[in-house]
Amino acid sequence: MSLSAAYVVHLSGDLSRQAGRNRVQVLEPREALTAAELRRRVAQQVPTADPLVHRALVVAGDRILGVDEVVPRDRRISLVPPVSGG
């Protein structure tokens, strides 16, 4: 039996504005959580930001994670929404 892991997920840009906060805590009872699963869990907690959450990059430290990669517990985790500029 494994203990629950708590991931503090920092929300950037429009995500934090739509969510009304700059971070979300995700509890995960299993040992591993993929980037795709993390996005799903954040979207459940912050339904107002759901469309943006599913398009956001999952960043661990300074590295962008692929959707099937395991989210490390020992790095700062951020969701970074797509941006455009001119």
pLDDT in tens, 5-49: 689 999 999 999 999 999 999 987 677 899 999 999 999 999 999
Q: Which domain holds residue 66?
A: 5-80
Residue 4, phi-psi category: left (phi > 0), alpha (psi -120 to 50), beta (remainder): beta
Instruction: Judge contact between 25 and 31, C-beta under 8 A.
Output: no
CATH code: domain of residue 29: 3.10.20.30
* 27 within a domain of the structure (yes/no): yes
pLDDT, mean of residues 47-68:
94
* pTM beyond 0.95, yes or no: no
The count of structural domains within the chain is 1
| Residue 66 scores a pLDDT above 50 | yes
